[in-house]
Amino acid sequence: MECEVVSGARSPPGGIVLESELFLLHGLLAPSPLAGWVVLAPRRHARWWWELDERELREIGPLAARVLRAQRSALGAVHGYALALGDVLHHMHLHLVPRFASTPERLHGRGAFGASPADMLSESELARAASLLRAALSERA
Q: Is the pLDDT of residue 128 over 60?
A: yes
Query: What does the pLDDT average to over 17-21?
Result: 95
Half-sphere exposure (CA, 13 Å, Cβ side) for 37? Answer: 27
Distance CA 100, CA 65 (A): 17
pLDDT digits (tens, 9 = 90+) for 94-124: 999 999 999 999 999 999 999 999 999 999 9
Instruction: List pLDDT tens digits, range 77-95.
Output: 999 999 987 666 667 889 9
Q: What is the side-by-side order of every strand in the sheet holding 79-83?
A: 16-19, 23-27, 38-42, 94-99, 79-83
Question: pLDDT category, 139, cuts 50, 70, 90?
Answer: confident
Distance, in Å, from the CA atom of 64 to the CA atom of 9, rounded to the nearest integer, reads: 24
Look at residue 13 in the predicted model and tell me its pLDDT.
Answer: 84
Name the nearest CA neighbour of 35 among 124, 104, 114: 124
Domains and CATH numbers, the chain: 2-139 (3.30.428.10)
